[in-house]
Structure 1
Amino acid sequence: MHVDSGEGRLRTEADEPGWEVDPDDDWGVAVVATVGRQLKLRREAVGMRAADFGIAVGYGEDMVYKIEGGKRIPQPEYLDRADEVLGAGGLLSAMKEDVRKVRYPKKVRELGKLESKAIEIGVYECNIIAGLLQTPEHARAVIGAAQPPYSPDDVERMVAARLARQSVFERDPAPSIHFVLEEAVLRRPIGGTMVKRQQLEHLREVAQRHNVVLQVMPMNCEVHSGLDGRVEVLKFPDGSAVGRSDGTFNGRPTSDPKQLRVLELRYGTIRAQALSPRESLAFIEQLLGET
């Protein structure tokens, strides 16, 4: 029986913060409602009461009803246990992938979807290391520093979402990906010395991929085109593109050709002002030697 370790009691909402359904996420609401309906139909088909089913999977009856009613996102372990108890032959367990995506914030899913289709990705970050480049430990430290603080469960949810986007590096054919990061950000010991070192080692590794170009904007560059904030430009196989910048067009994504030309000019100028890829890799090696 799946119960809380050492307590022997059934799990309730208090045990799983951060698994509520976002009512503004239409796709997520539909997925969770479909999964809940399938769980209910299969439970009723075998003639099992909600209370008995809850005991079998280690959850309280109220939680069973909320999951079946599409009000709560079921954990992967819940689906695995339900599949076993109800003899679903893997059909319920197979829903874990869609349910996993629902846990990711809507904005992160939308960004990940765009990145998964792009053939060219260009990112300049001024205050953080780009999310596509963060190690789990670095991401956890950055997200955990937010004020007001997120709950531990929400931190893990956001870390998982950020890391899931990094599957873009494994695509075949591989997209062309370019990053420009600020020197000051690389010097900041986010998470402590070991986390900083692991992050720098990861940057060194990623920078040596055949489809990745990484540049560093040195602090001795007095002014440059990225002082207004992050710039991101994504290009797609059909010739279309999407871009956004913190300091332009209210920071909203745009596909307007005139606005894209502004962002591309800005990003191209940033690349020209940064250290070359070879110099940037040497700089990361230097930081590693100092850490």
Structure 2
Amino acid sequence: MSGPKDLDPSSSPRALLGAELRHAREQKGLSQAELGQRVFVSGSFIGQLEAGTRRMQPEFARMLDEVLGTGGFFMRNCGAAAKSKYPQHFAEVAESEAQATAIREYAPLLIPGLLQTAAYARAVNRGYDPTAPEETIEEWVEGRMARASLLAHPTKPLLWAVLDEAALRRETGGRAVMSEALRHLTALVRRSRVIVQVLPLGAGAHTAMQGALKLMDFEDAPPLVYLEGVRSGRLEDDPATVTQLRFVFDLLVASALSQEKSLALIEALAEDYGHAEHP
């Protein structure tokens, strides 16, 4: 490999790091699967590193330098690619969202981050950490709104959300905040920017009662699935796992209200929240 330059942290470092990885691998005559075997990961994981949809951790950087003979290049530069304004367990997910061509999400307890208003995000983050300084809360809200700016593009990514009715009925931030949040949601639906379905409480037991689910597809990298818990989460790229959880999402869609009935319910709830007094 001809001596690559150190990455400029201001110029999409993960994408540049991925391009250098692809170049170094090809110079060695290795397939993604062959390189993956040598560093104890899947070939699809190597593909995601090369596409910039996964971040390179120091332990992988060290092994890649050893296998590819890159003179410590990846170790020197993986720190720049790992910088993020998001919590550690979610940083890679937020960065992957920005490159996804399609996002399918089931949200059991709250309106998903990409669909939140600033006021709703503020209430959610305050609920997460009641003792956090106000400036910290505002930083978190700013980060969440930056993620939501993905929807400024007229068509990409496709966002298909199945929201549990419980998430819409949990009064987060007060009735005015909920009314604004649901009106924002209906506006996105009405301009055909997102697909939203509501899983009604009357649906009873269903296939995703254990938690939230996010599936992401990419143009030039294998799909990912993100499973989230309390202040934790993990990305999965195992093809069998992704296939299984895609089926879970399909079952949720089948159990949910139609798009038309979902919109009608959300609009009715927004109108209800709009009243100053609870009926």
**Aligned AA (1:208):** R
Return the offset for 1:289.
2.9
Separation in structure 1 between the aligned mates of residue 253 and residue 158 of structure 2, nearest angstrom: 15
Aligned length: 194
Query: Are 1:166 and 2:148 matched, yes or no?
Result: yes
Q: Which residue of 1 aligns with 2:107?
A: 125
- Three-state SS of the structure 2 residue aligned to 1:262 is helix
Alpha-carbon distance, 1:168 to partner: 1.4
Map residues 136-215 of structure 1 onto 2, 5 A cutoff: 136-147=118-129, 149-171=131-153, 174-215=156-197
> Which of the two has higher C-alpha Rg?
1
Q: Work out whether residues 214 and 277 of structure 1, in 8 Å CA contact, stay in contact via their aligned partners in 2.
A: yes
Residue equivalent to 1:270: 252
TM-score (norm 2): 0.64
Question: Which AA in structure 2 matches 1:156?
Answer: E
Counterpart among 214, 217, 231 of residue 199 in structure 2: 217
Task: Determine if contact 1:124/1:181 at 8 Å carries over to the other structure.
Answer: yes
* Percent of pairs with identical residues: 33
2:261 corresponds to: 279
Is 1:288 matched with 2:273?
A: no
Q: Is the deviation greater in 158-167 or in 140-149?
A: 140-149
Q: In structure 2, the residue corresponding to 1:252 is in which secondary structure?
A: strand
State how far apart, in whole Å, the 1-side matches of 2:117 and 2:155 are.
24
**Structure 1 alignment gaps of length 5 or more:** 1-26, 32-97
Q: Give distance in 2, aligned partners of 1:172 and 1:217.
A: 26
- Stretch moving more, 238-247 or 101-110: 101-110
Q: Distance in 1 between matches of 2:266 and 2:246?
A: 26
Which runs of 5 or more structure 2 residues have no equivalent in the other structure? 1-6, 11-79, 274-279
- What is the Cα-based RMSD across aligned positions, in Å? 2.5
Normalising by structure 1, we get a TM-score of 0.61
Q: CA deviation at 1:241?
A: 0.3
Q: Secondary structure at the match of 1:117?
A: coil
Please tell me whether residue 113 in structure 1 is matched to residue 95 in structure 2. Answer: yes
Does the 8 A contact of 1:131 with 1:139 survive in 2? Answer: yes
Which residue of structure 1 aligns with residue 37 of structure 2? Answer: none
Among 228, 235, 246, the residue aligned to 1:253? 235
- Rounded to whole Å, the distance in 2 between the matches of 1:201 and 1:290 is 11
Alignment of 1:18-57 (within 5 A): none
CA offsets, 1:226-255, max 9 Å, x none? 1010011000012520002348xx952111
Cα offset for 1:148?
5.5
| Secondary structure of 1:114 counterpart | helix
- C-alpha distance in structure 2 between counterparts of 1:255 and 1:118, whole Å: 14
Map 1:220-235; keep pairs closer than 5 Å.
Answer: 220-235=202-217
* Residue in structure 1 matching 2:223, options 237, 241, 244: 241
